[in-house]
Amino acid sequence: MATLSLLPTSATSKPSSWRNHLFSPNSLQCKKKESIEISTNGQASFPEKNLLRHASKTPPPRPRRIILVRHGESEGNVDESMYTMVADPKIGLTERGKAQAIECGERIRKMIEKDGANDWKVYFYVSPYKRTLETLRNLARSFERSRIAGLREEPRLREQDFGNFQDREKMRVEKAIRMLYGRFFYRFPDGESAADVYDRITGFRETLRADIDIGRFQPPGDRNPNMNIVIVSHGLTLRVFLMRWYKWTVEQYEGLHNFGNGGMIVMEKGYGGRYSLLMHHKEEELRKFGLTEQMLIDQDWQKYARPGELNYDCPTMNSFFTHFDEKDAKFGS
């Protein structure tokens, strides 16, 4: 089998130097080795696709935390007329919003350092909107270059699309109609519904889960259990992410409240390996966010459960079926 390599000659003759070049600590750019093997019958194969096949049977350690960060205060948050003149993706932060982002970065660093581990790192995902990119830049001031394992701009993390330039009065009417129709299913004219956001977030979640499962966040040659993923996005997008991750119902989603600009929600790995909000947050804090008693019971289960396990006692079932109570009453149980 002849091999056509897309690497420079010097890189193919010196694998170790090539590796050092691609993963130089002096650069945050993510570069990728790609090679194509051409068989004698002319068919091409991609060796990197065999990553899972040749991976160690021992699963890589899961990141310690998945930290969801809402962007700092934006110009649109303080003046809704901005949306009539400036495209939503181009609206930046206020000075207060930048300060909120800096403070959020400090909180994240202190939270991680409190573990006492010396080998911790962070990996960032960020929405491509200006306000989230500015939040990331200010937030990242709290981290030395050596602590940042990488970053990825992810368009699926963008804000809900409200429909190009927005007429201020018309938008107020549309938001009032949304409350009557339902916050999850109402689609803005020329824009998106939260259900549309759910569909693209589902794709992102599957990508994230796959990256976790194959150890893509682990530095080359390392199996670091102290990796922290930070997702910088928008309020609705992050609430939908939580809904998708924890399989919350539409009714449960619609009971959630937005968290503040520069605020964060922490999904921390529990004792069995799954992520729970109760590992970091207190119940009262989550109640204010909108979690019901049923959701809190499930979060407590998440603290101890292992990946792949199902919560057979999930109390959400009772919100779908009503005949259980009738049967219990009939048999006096």
The answer to whether 260 is annotated as binding is: no
The answer to whether 224 is annotated as binding is: no
The answer to whether 170 is annotated as binding is: yes
Q: How far is the CA of 34 from the CAs of 29, 43, 46, 286, 291, in angstroms?
A: 16, 16, 8, 45, 45
Burial class (CB in 10 A: 0-12, 13-18, 19+), 139: buried
Torsion angle in degrees (nearest 10) through CA of 131, 133, 136, 138: -70
Contacts of 42 (CB under 8 A, 6+ apart): none
The answer to whether 74 is annotated as binding is: yes
The catalytic residue among 134, 154, 159, 174 is 159
Q: Mind giving me the DSSP string for 120-155?
A: -EEEEEE-SSHHHHHHHHHHGGGS-GGGEEEEEE-G
Q: Give the position of tokens 């911790």.
A: 120
Torsion sign over Cα 299, 132, 64, 221: positive
Q: Give the position of tokens 């068989």.
A: 39
The answer to whether 71 is annotated as binding is: yes
Structure tokens at 312: 């057979």
Cα 187 versus chain centre, distance: 23
Q: Are residues 70 and 259 in contact, defined by beta-carbon separation less than 8 angstroms?
A: yes
159 a catalytic residue:
yes
The answer to whether 70 is annotated as binding is: yes
**How far apart are the C-alpha atoms of 58 and 218, rounded to whole Å?**
14
Q: How far is the CA of 262 from the CAs of 38, 98, 106, 214, 323, in angstroms?
A: 50, 9, 11, 31, 45
Q: Which residues pair with 65 in a beta bridge?
A: 228, 268
The catalytic residue among 71, 134, 154, 268 is 71
169 a catalytic residue:
no
**Residues that are catalytic:** 71, 159
Binding-site annotation: residue ranges: 70-77, 131, 170
Binding-site annotation: residue ranges for substrate: 70-77, 131, 170
